[in-house]
Amino acid sequence: MDTTVVLVWIYMVVTILPTLHADRNVYPSAGVLFVHVLEREHFKGEFPPYPKPGDSSNDPITFNTNLMGYPDRPGWLRYIQRTSHSDGVLYGSPTAEHVGKATIIEIIAYNRRTFETARHNLVINVMSTEEYPLPYQAEFYIKNMNVEEMLASEVLGDFLGAVKNVWQPERLNAVNITSALDRGGRVPLPINNLKEGVYVMVGADVQFSSCLREVENPHNQLRCSQEMEPVISCDKKFRAQFDIDWCKINLVDITKMIMVHSNRLDPGTGVLPDIGGYNPPPESLKSRDFFADFLITLAVPSAVAMVLFSVLGYSMCCRREGVDKRNMQTPDIQLVHHSSIQKSTKELRSMSKNREISWPLSTLPVFSQSGEVVPPIHPDNYETTSMPLMQTQTNLQNQIQIPQQQPSGDRDNYCMSTFRRLEVNGIPEERKVAEAVNL
């Protein structure tokens, strides 16, 4: 019984190992679009199933693709996988330079549930074609498609069928497909099912049809410059499934292109030639004297700085004229005039300290109707330099009584109004504090 189980396991290992490491060969043509789908179902059998039997396996699987021995893919080959639950797609257009060269692509499938990997090799053998390159190529920009949607065989077939119906060529091939994001386009907003857009280049062996040439007439060119859709007669044959931006169509006639050859070196394969092992320098190296380098680096700039400092110090300290030299060079009459101005200025400043201060109008006394003479504002010997503008009235001295009419209406009897003798800034002043009533 045990021997039978061992034989069964040996048979399973023998049948599975070639599947894991077998190389898959594909044969694309130069100048024709190459599409290879990395199907998740093909790699699910190489990972352990779910613990419970009968459960459907829907593991998240991602793919890593690179040229064997290099971290990335060839320049003409692109890869896209939208999510870990969708298939990956390798696509591109090989050129005549890759004809006869086997390109080995390493494909590593990574299971994000079990953290296991499976490795396959894809051998791309580019074949030459007699019709490469097709002389007339047209590039369409489709706004309502993503690149992985356009790479599907049925969608691409429908588009080529519509182009063939409009163009009527004998041979028609899809040359290349490029996402609008690779051309500098913006990522669309995640609303209203907006798409990224895709550029599809198609090649044919006959001249462009009149429908495709309609975009070149002045009327449509004017509409394109005004960001308006041009009027294309054959647009209805695409509109049902493909929304084409006719202002971005590019028609290329390879037969009229001038080939410019420049004398440049062959870039090579990017691999350094084998020139043998590393030969390190000998241990007995000749010592080098750095004293001369030290002098050139430090001593010479320091000497130049000292010379400049000496010249600057001599100019600022030893070349000063001084006051005596200035007076010797000044005429005597100018010195006498300057001295007299200084003496006059000093005299005016000393006189301004002793002059009297004029009083403001608000402090002048108010004369009464009695004709009493108010004493002078201040005597001649009164000190005013230290006197404040207003002082507190603390003394209410002599009061003068004047007659005033009584409110009873008797015009023969009078009452006395009161005047107060106040002091403002220490100077007595007459102020009327009560006015006559019913005058």
Residue ranges of the domains in the chain? 2-125, 136-256, 398-439
Which CATH fold topology does 2-125 show?
Immunoglobulin-like (2.60.40)
Nearest to residue 138, comparing CAs of 19, 252, 36, 219? 252
- CA 256, CA 309: separation in Å to the nearest integer? 73
Residue 8 has what pLDDT? 31
Exposed (0-12), middle (13-18) or buried (19+): which is 13, by Cβ within 10 Å? exposed
Residue 362 has what pLDDT? 56
Residue 90 has what pLDDT? 93
Q: Tell me: the pLDDT tens digits for 317-326?
A: 877 666 777 7
CA distances from 150 to 153, 221, 233, 243, 429 (A): 8, 28, 24, 12, 111
Report the first-to-last Cα separation within the chain, whole angstroms.
Answer: 148
Residue 303 has what pLDDT? 92
Residue ranges in the chain whose pLDDT is less than 50: 1-20, 259-262, 368-369, 382, 384-406, 408-420, 424-425, 427, 429-439
Distance from the Cα of residue 91 to its chain's centroid: 34
Q: Tell me: the pLDDT tens digits for 118-148?
A: 898 999 999 887 777 788 999 999 998 999 8
Nearest to residue 368, comparing CAs of 323, 410, 330, 404? 404
Nearest to residue 110, comparing CAs of 23, 44, 35? 44
Task: Specify the length of the chain in residues.
Answer: 439
Distance from the Cα of residue 411 to its chain's centroid: 98
